[in-house]
Amino acid sequence: MGERIRRTTWFEGTVQGVGFRYTACDVAARFPVTGYVRNLRDGRVELVAEGPPEQVDRFIAAVRDALRHYIRHVEQTDGPATGEFERFGVRY
């Protein structure tokens, strides 16, 4: 199956109320990634993606590109994949 990573990404800016989560899900459908995206109480959006490192890189880059006008700052951390997700979706 190859190496898989888990990347947690926090997006800051005008990222809530602009369709961010649904756009991220649409983008995820084009990549072999699993995980979730959700709004945080502090106004950020958290995105957790698991998959092959190069695919996670491409997925996050595509999300950033699609929503670039809303994003002011991005933070990321990487770790080992847990395999806990069956698909990519929105969490509430």
Residue 1 clears pLDDT 70, i.e. is over it: no
- Of the residues 39, 44, 58, 64, only one is catalytic, namely 39
- Of the residues 21, 30, 58, 72, only one is catalytic, namely 21
Q: What pTM value is reported for the model? A: 0.96
Per the listing, tokens 């709004």 go with 39
21 is catalytic: yes
Instruction: Assign 2 a pLDDT band (cuts: 50, 70, 90).
Output: confident
* CA distances to 7, 10, 31 from 72, in Å: 19, 11, 24
Closest CA to 7 of 40, 30, 37, 29: 37
Closest CA to 66 of 3, 6, 11, 7: 11
Side-chain half-sphere of 28: how many Cα atoms within 13 Å?
A: 21
Q: What is the pLDDT of residues 22-74, one digit of tens each?
A: 999 999 999 999 999 999 999 999 999 999 999 999 999 999 999 999 999 99
**What pLDDT does 68 receive?**
97
